[in-house]
Amino acid sequence: MTKIIKNQYLGECKVDSLKIRIPLKSLINYDKSLNDTYIKVCDETGEPVLDEKGDIRKFKDACKTYDLGCVPLRAGISKQVRCGKNYEDYLFILINSKHAHKNYFKGVDMETMFLIYRSLIELEIIEIEWLTFIEVAIPTDIDFKIDYDGLLFDEYKEMLNGCHKMTKTSSDRDKGATKFKDKGNVGISWSVRQTSKYKTNPYTKIYHKGLEMQNKSYEFYMMYLSNYDLTNRFRIETTVKNREHLKSLNKALKLGFETYNLRELLTLSPERKKSIIQYAINCHLYPRKRSLEMFKDKKRMTPADTIMFSSLLGFIEDCGWTYLQVETLLLSRIENESSKSLNKKKLKGFYEDIIHSKNYEIKAKKVENIFDSWGWF
């Protein structure tokens, strides 16, 4: 029988993905095909395509894709990148937790990075000693994440609504919140990934990990994570854009970076990593109200709603009626279709409250605990 895993690494801040840059001069060797250039040819004649000056048009792929256990890994060469006062050529690699395969939820740490490093060596993308690798590699575009489990889907949506209500208002595209709800996921994001205002408005999002795996990463889930129950798992994630952004956070949060290399990132304490999430959340949200105020309060129902709720409860618990019998009776004399639809939805909501024995104070407390763990005060 397959063991179902639910609680591994929940509530812990992890590095989910990052881009690393390695100076070419630090490498013993690397995949020279990353330097390859190509020419365009005409499909009909096979002749090279020329540019405006009559020269053969050449181009170079931005990156090359490798197969790392059925997970794509991308690498490329960046020429004359500024680093401090100097300009250097770098080999860059895009790394994410999926490259750790069954250790996906562990994130990118010293242990999983070493496993990924060994794959980079085996694929002959780079040749470099491990200790040198973690010293010279420069991390940028770092995503920090925390996973949670324990909210039912309607509670998760209520939490998103609460966050949306408490978002600092702004008409600026780089500020404010965007709620998203589509076939692939349901969540909320603040700012945009390509923002230039990353110090004050870092890109941050909350999304449902179970839906994301089901709709966008199902093959990966079945291959490596099929023993995980992701029904109620969701994630909060924020991006540290570049070295300048990391330096700003290091100063504000006293993270302890000195050289800003990969080793320092991988040895960052859990508390310091979580402080980055806390900082991002408080950039986007007003000081928090009690969560109970964000939820529907049954004590404040209108008299008509109270009658509907009491009738539904009485017919089901005292008379033993089915929900459909009660719905048919209570809605039978409403002729307006719009009003009938509205009341049917309301009645269904009341019914779900009954069958799930929902207590809104308990529900609010569950969300309060999550907000506390973010450091949103």
pLDDT digits (tens, 9 = 90+) for 52-77: 665 655 555 678 999 999 999 999 99
What pLDDT is recorded for position 256? 96
How would residue 5 be classed by pLDDT, with cut points 50, 70 and 90? confident
What pLDDT is recorded for position 291? 47
Query: Hey, what are 75's tokens?
Result: 């690498």
- Rounded Cα gap, residues 56 and 42, in angstroms: 12
What pLDDT is recorded for position 266? 98
Query: Hey, what are 217's tokens?
Result: 């990463």
How would residue 50 be classed by pLDDT, with cut points 50, 70 and 90? low
Residue 128 has pLDDT above 90, yes or no: yes
C-beta of residue 262 within 8 angstroms of C-beta of residue 128: no
- Rounded Cα gap, residues 373 and 377, in angstroms: 10
What pLDDT is recorded for position 292? 41
How would residue 174 be classed by pLDDT, with cut points 50, 70 and 90? low
Residue bearing tokens 């049954």 = 298
- Rounded Cα gap, residues 236 and 204, in angstroms: 7
Mean pLDDT confidence for 321-330: 89
Higher pLDDT, 126 or 333: 126
Residue 253 has pLDDT above 90, yes or no: yes
Helix (H) or strand (E) segment spanning residue 14 = strand 13-23
With CA atoms as reference, report the closest residue to 191 among 208, 204, 209, 206. 204
Q: Which residues pair with 91 in a beta bridge?
A: 22, 77
Q: At what angle do helices 337-355 and 323-331 cross, to 10 degrees?
A: 150
* 275 burial via Cβ count (<10 Å: 0-12, 13-18, 19+): buried
Mean pLDDT confidence for 42-55: 61
Q: What is the pLDDT of residues 203-228, one digit of tens each?
A: 999 999 999 999 999 999 999 999 99
Q: What is the pLDDT of residues 154-167, one digit of tens each?
A: 889 889 988 988 89
CA 276 centroid distance within chain: 14
What pLDDT is recorded for position 40? 61
Give the number of other CB atoms < 10 A from CB of residue 131: 9
Residue 363 has pLDDT above 80, yes or no: no
What pLDDT is recorded for position 317? 74
How would residue 192 be classed by pLDDT, with cut points 50, 70 and 90? confident
Mean pLDDT confidence for 328-343: 91
189: phi then psi, degrees, rounded to nearest 5: -135, 155
Instruction: Give the 3-state secondary structure of residue 161.
Output: helix
12-21, 75-84, 250-259, 358-367: the lowest-pLDDT one: 358-367
DSSP H helical ranges for the chain: 110-122, 130-136, 153-165, 209-216, 218-224, 243-253, 262-266, 270-284, 303-317, 323-331, 337-355, 360-374
Higher pLDDT, 59 or 233: 233
Q: In terms of C-beta distances under 8 Å and separation of at least 24 residues, what long-range contacts does 116-125 make, across chains too?
A: 116/68, 119/68, 119/69, 119/73, 120/93, 123/31, 123/66, 123/68, 123/73, 124/29, 124/31, 125/30, 125/31, 125/66, 125/73, 125/75, 125/93
With CA atoms as reference, report the closest residue to 275 among 302, 326, 238. 238
Average pLDDT taken over every residue of the chain: 86
Q: Residues in the chain, how many? A: 377
- Rounded Cα gap, residues 298 and 308, in angstroms: 12
C-beta of residue 4 within 8 angstroms of C-beta of residue 229: yes
CA 209 centroid distance within chain: 8
Q: What is the pLDDT of residues 65-116, one digit of tens each?
A: 999 999 999 999 988 877 667 788 999 999 999 999 999 999 999 999 999 9
pTM of the predicted protein model = 0.78
Percentage of the chain lying above the pLDDT 70 cut: 84
What pLDDT is recorded for position 173? 63
Sheet strand arrangement including 64-67:
64-67, 72-83, 86-96, 13-23, 138-149, 233-240, 204-208, 186-190, 177-181
DSSP state of 167: B
10-19, 137-146, 237-246, 349-358: the lowest-pLDDT one: 349-358
Mean pLDDT confidence for 136-160: 93
